[in-house]
Amino acid sequence: MRKVMQALALAGLAALCGCSHAPGYPPAPLPRPSAVTDFATLYGQNCAACHGANGQNGPAIDFANPEYQALVDDGSLRKWISGGMPGTEMPAFAQSQGGMLTDVQVNAIITGMRREWLRTASSGGTSMPQYSQTNAGDAHRGQGVYEKHCASCHEKQDQSITSPVYLALVSDQTLRSVTIAGRPDIGQPDWSHDGPGGNAATPLLPEEVDDIVAYLGSLRNPDSKAAGAPVSQLAPQAESGKAEK
C-alpha cells in the first residue's frame, strides 16, 4: 500500500511541475536548427531584425512590398541571402558561405516570401524597369532627375539620402530597388509615382532610374565631379558642351 501511495504522490508532483515526460525518461529532443523549415521561424530568427517583423518597418528594404516582390527574381534573392550583399550590412546566411542556413532553409525563406507577399503590382500598363542595372547611367543627368522627382522629400534632414554616411551603408542595387519599388511602409513612392503620398505622375524612364543611381553613387566620394554642384550650375555647362565628364 505504501508503494502505491508513493507512486501516486510522484505522479501528482510531476503533474504540478508541468512535467511533459514520464519520470526517469529524458524529454523529447528539440529539432536540430538545420532541420527547421518553417518560414515564420526562419524569417523571425534571421531576417526580421533588419527587414521588419512582418516584412515592413525595418531599417532595411521592405520585403512585404508587392512591387519589390514583383521586381526581384528568385535567383537574386538566393544570391543575396546565401552570400550577403557587398557594400551593405547584409551578411551571408548560407552554410557554404560561413552562415547557419542550409540551402533548403534559404529556399524555404524565398518560398515563404512569395507565398506571403507576392501580389499583382499595378503599374498602370507601364513596364517596370528591370531589377539589375546594365547601363552605367549618367550622374550629371541623374542629379537633375533627382532634384525634380526626389529632392522635395529627401531634402529634409531626417530623410536625407544624399549623405555619404548613409550611402556608405547601402549598395547601388539597394538604391535601385528602392527607387523602383519604393518603401510603402515609410511612405516612399515607387517609380511610377512621386510627391507626398505617391501622387500619380509621369513614371520614371529606365534610363532615369540608371541616372539617379549613378548620381547617388557618385556622392559616396566627396571628390566626385558630379557631386555637390546645384543643377543650375551644371545645366549651362551641359548646354555649351563643356560639362565635365
Query: Has residue 43 got a pLDDT over 50?
Result: yes
Sign of the C-alpha dihedral, residues 48, 53, 54, 58? negative
10 Å CB burial of residue 196 (0-12, 13-18, 19+) is exposed
Delineate the domains of the chain, giving CATH numbers in brackets.
36-117 (1.10.760.10), 139-240 (1.10.760)
Q: What pLDDT is recorded for position 241? A: 32
Scan for cell 515563404, then name that residue: 112
Q: What pLDDT is recorded for position 29? A: 58
Tell me the per-residue pLDDT of 129-174, one tens digit each, with 9 for 90 and over. Answer: 999 998 889 999 999 999 998 888 887 666 678 888 888 888 999 9
The pLDDT > 70 percentage for the chain reads 69
Query: Has residue 121 got a pLDDT over 60?
Result: no
C-alpha radius of gyration, the chain, whole number:
26
Tell me the per-residue pLDDT of 57-75, one tens digit each, with 9 for 90 and over. Answer: 999 999 999 999 999 999 9
Contact between 244 and 138 (Cβ < 8 Å): no
Poorest-confidence range of 11-20, 64-73, 116-125, 190-199? 11-20
